[in-house]
């Protein structure tokens, strides 16, 4: 998730559509609500929850520039990918 100002949030969920909607609707208090991270700009899909959590930890350990490069490789225009999940 990203904010208009470029703040990035990395998380893991078992339901990407629901969780993205929660961020967009500011349902849960916390980082994404505080920094207005409402735009889904990158995601990965895993069938193994342990692998997903491991990948989350790896990405959170990256410097900002490396995270931005990953997002740009997947989504060069930083479009909100949420709409793509619905179709």
pLDDT value of position 50: 98
Compute the C-alpha angle 12/54/50, nearest 5°: 80
Q: To which residue do tokens 């930083």 refer?
A: 78
Going residue by residue through the chain, which has 87 residues, state the pLDDT in tens, using 9 for 90 and above: 999 999 999 999 999 999 999 999 999 899 999 999 999 999 999 999 999 999 999 999 999 999 999 999 999 999 999 999 887
Say what the pLDDT of residue 86 is. 84
Determine the Cα–Cα distance for residues 71 and 68; give it in Å rounded to an integer: 5
User: Whole-prediction pTM value?
Assistant: 0.93
């Amino acid at each position: 998730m990203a904010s208009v100002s470029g703040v990035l949030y990395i998380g893991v969920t078992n339901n990407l559509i629901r969780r993205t909607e929660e961020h967009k609707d500011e349902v849960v208090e916390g980082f994404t609500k505080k920094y207005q991270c409402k735009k889904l700009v990158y995601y990965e899909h895993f069938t193994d929850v342990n692998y997903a959590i491991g990948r989350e930890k790896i990405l959170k350990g990256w410097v900002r520039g490396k995270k931005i490069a990953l997002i740009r490789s997947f989504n060069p225009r930083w479009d909100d990918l949420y709409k793509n999940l619905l179709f």
